Amino acid sequence: MRGPPLSFFCRFTAPIAGIAIASFHISGYLAGVANPEELIGKFESRDAVVGVIGLGYVGLPLAATIAEAGFSSVGFDTDEKKIAALLAGRSYIRHVDGARLGGLIGKAPGESGGFHPSSDYALLDRCDAVLICVPTPLTDGRDPDLSYVRNTAETISQHLRAGQLVVLESTTYPGTTEEVVRPILERSGLSAGRDFFLAFSPEREDPNNPDFSTKTIPKLVGGVTPDCGRVATALYSSVIEQVIPVSDAKVAEAAKLLENIYRSVNIALVNELKVLFQKMDINIWEVIEAASSKPFGFTPFYPGPGLGGHCIPIDPFYLSWRARQYEMVTKFIELAGEVNHSMPDYVVERLGDALNERGKSLKGSKVLILGVAYKRDIDDDRESPAFRLMELLRRKQAVLSYHDPYVPALRPSRRYDFGLESVPLDAKCLGDADAVVIVTDHSNVDYSFVVQHAQLVVDTRNATRDLGASGGRVVLA
C-alpha cells in the first residue's frame, strides 16, 4: 500500500493557476484501511477540498455550486482557454453567470467558498474528493466511447491516495464504475471500499431550466460498497438539497439511462404521430394540447426536427450496446433511435414539397436555418439536429445560412465543418431567403417579424402557433 506524499503533511505554498495557496490542511490518511467517518466529518464541516474534472456544461456549474456550499473547489480542464477565461472572471457558458464565478474565484485559495480553475492535474492529490464530469460520446458505429473516462481514471490513479473519494458523474452503461473505473484506480495499489471510496452519481443538468438548478435537482448516489455510498452521500448532502442513495453504482447508472430512454421513446412516438397526422391533415400540436387536458395517465411530449444535446441522442445506445453482451436486442431503444434520427429527412422532404409548390427546387434555393442550438435559449449546439438537417440540404445543393443569437459561429466538429457565421435577422436577410426553417425556437426571436418578411417558413417547433393568418407562408414540419 502507498501512503500520501510527504508534502501532504506540510502547508502548501505551490501555486494553483498562478495564485498562491494559503494553507490547505490535509489530515493524514496513511496507507491501509480508510476511515469513512473521518471523511464524512470533513464533508459535513466543509473542511474538505473537492476537485471537479471537466469544466463543461456539467462540471462548471457543479464546481461553482460546491464552492458556494462552503467547500474549497478546484476545477480541472485540459483546455487552457477555458482556464484563462475563468481566471479572468469570464464564463464561456451562457447560463453560468461570469459575475457568479468571479466572486468565487476572487477568494483566497483554501478559503471557504473558493473556486480555483487549473490545468495542473498534480493538484489532484490535494483533493479529498474528485468528481469526474467528462464526455461519454459514441463511436461512428454507435458503440460507447469511454476514452475520456479511461484517460481521466488513469490520471487520477497517478495521484490517488488513501482516504479519497472518487465519483463518476458521466452517463454510461451499468457496470462502468465497477468494471472500468475501479480496476484503473486500483493500479495505484489502493483498494476501493477499503483504502479509498468510489461511487457513481449521474449528472442531471438541464441548461437554462428556470425551475431547477444544480443545487435543487435531486441527486442519485450509488457506491461500489455500502461505505462508499455513505461517504459519497455525505458529500452531496452538503451541497445538494435532496440526495437519494441507491443500493449500488449499477442502479444509479441504470437509473440515468432509464430517464433518457423514457424521453427518447416518447419523443419518437410523437414524432411518428406527427408524420401520420400530417398525412391525415391533423395538427399534432393541437392533438397534444387536447390530450393534455386529461388530469391523469398522460404526460405531454413534443415533436421536433430530431434530437439534440449530449444525453438523449447518445445515452440510450450505451444500454443497447450493453444489452448485446447479454444476447438481447433493445427493440424500443433501437426503434426510437431510428424514428428520431429520421426527422431531419422528414423536414427536408416537407421543405422540398413546399418549395416545389412554389415552382422552386431545393437545388440552388437559399435556405436560412433559424436556430442551431439543440434547445431553446441556450448556447449549446452539441448533437444539434440542425447540423444533420444542414448536411442533408447541402447534399441537395441548397445555399445555406443560419441565424442564432447564442451561437455566433459554427465550430468544426469531428462530423461537421460548415464554416458559417450567424447572419443578422433583418428584413433583407429574411426576404432574400427562399425558405426559413425554424429549428430552434429561441424566445428572443420575433416570429411575427419572421413570417411577415419571409417568403416561406417551415416551422418544426410550432413557434408560429399564435400568429393567426400567415398568407399560406407557414408550413409545419
**Cβ within 8 Å of residue 67, ≥6 positions away:** 73, 104, 113, 114, 115
Q: Which of 317, 219, 200, 223 is nearest to 265 (CA)?
A: 317
Q: Where are the beta strands (DSSP E) in 359-439?
A: 366-370, 399-403, 435-438
Number of Cβ atoms within 10 Å of the Cβ of 364: 11
Secondary structure of residue 382 in the 3-state scheme: coil
Question: Using CA atoms, how far apart are residues 253 and 246, in angstroms rounded to an integer?
Answer: 10
Residue 313, φ and ψ in degrees, nearest 5 = -70, -15
Residue 10 annotated as catalytic: no
Question: Using CA atoms, how far apart are residues 400 and 418, in angstroms rounded to an integer?
Answer: 9
**Cβ within 8 Å of residue 449, ≥6 positions away:** 425, 427, 430
Residue at grid coordinates 436560412? 368
The answer to whether 128 and 197 have CB atoms below 8 angstroms apart is no
Q: Where are the beta strands (DSSP E) in 217-350?
A: 219-223, 243-245
DSSP states along 213-248: -TTTS-EEEEESSHHHHHHHHHHHHTTSS-EEE-SS
Question: Using CA atoms, how far apart are residues 416 and 407, in angstroms rounded to an integer?
Answer: 15
User: Of residues 127, 133, 311, 429, which has the active-site annotation?
Assistant: 311
Kindly list the catalytic residues: 311
